[in-house]
Amino acid sequence: MPEGDTIFRAARTLDRALRGHIVTHFESVFPHLTRVHDDQSIVGRTVESVTARGKHVLMQLSGGLVLRTHMRMSGTWHIYRSGEPWQKPRPAMRIVIATHEFVAVAFNVHDAQFVEARRLERDSPVGRLGPDLLSVDFNAEEALRRLRTRGHLEIGEALLNQRIMAGIGNVFKSEVLFLCGVLPFTRVADLDEAILRRTIETARAQLAANVLPASGDGIVTYAGLRRTTRRADPAERLWVYGRRGQPCRRCGRLIEGRKQGPDARITYWCPECQHSRQEIARLSAGC
């Protein structure tokens, strides 16, 4: 599933291509979108901006209308020049937004909605999101407060909860907890404030590092390799994610992985470098 950094880059790519341009063609396979188009034509509206909120792409159109899309597991937005052949088959198309110069195509998107801008927070899932880690207005104190209210959750589960903080997915969950030295199966209530703050700060820093201008744009809006290690070799770009059975890049112990949470997402960790609350307390005391 695309995470906050890839959604941010997708929105940035769409915004650069479409902002300020008039929609010349719209189509969709979704009846609930075409009904809106029939009643309030999308053609003739100006694309005012395209932004990201957590894992949602928000296309603001003139007249106070927003197209919200969520990529789920397999959705992507592509950008093409007018007349350029698509890289995916037409049956995978879900939405087309065209201007004179560019054509934006959403492929395999399963969650899409037109909503009035003034009712976006009330009438869409966006209103239920926690603080967006990539927002310039990110509120770390609110994120901390929301984490504390889910004390019963394991920290690995809590980081995937978009109502606590928006933007983290399965890759960053494992990578952030490795960098913080925290065992993913430790309950939030068993971690002190300093560790929780460090986790929030690390998550924000890692996502931000993967949306720098050089981190990738292109026709396929999710292009670009995600990195958390800062290593130049593409084969060494992640610490633990997807590396079960391989040696830890720090200590050499074999990386472990198992399913976690109600969605059974696989969590990866190093049994030597990451610790539970009791282990953290022992290490801090110098025992």
Query: What strand order describes the sheet that includes 93-98?
Result: 25-28, 93-98, 102-107, 76-81
The pair of structure tokens assigned to 194 is: 């300093």
Question: What DSSP character marks residue 163?
Answer: T
Q: Determine whether 55 is an active site residue.
A: yes
Q: Determine whether 122 is an active site residue.
A: no
For 182, the 3-state DSSP assignment is strand
Q: What is the residue type of 218?
A: G
The pair of structure tokens assigned to 286 is: 């110098």
Q: Determine whether 265 is an active site residue.
A: yes
User: CA separation (Å) from 254 to 55, 178, 184?
Assistant: 32, 13, 16
Q: Which of 12, 45, 53, 55 is catalytic?
A: 55
Q: Determine whether 45 is an active site residue.
A: no
Q: Which of 2, 154, 175, 243 is catalytic?
A: 2
Calpha distance 39→17 (Å, rounded): 26
Calpha distance 44→238 (Å, rounded): 45
The pair of structure tokens assigned to 153 is: 């959750």
Q: Which of 150, 187, 197, 265 is catalytic?
A: 265
Catalytic residues: 2-3, 55, 265
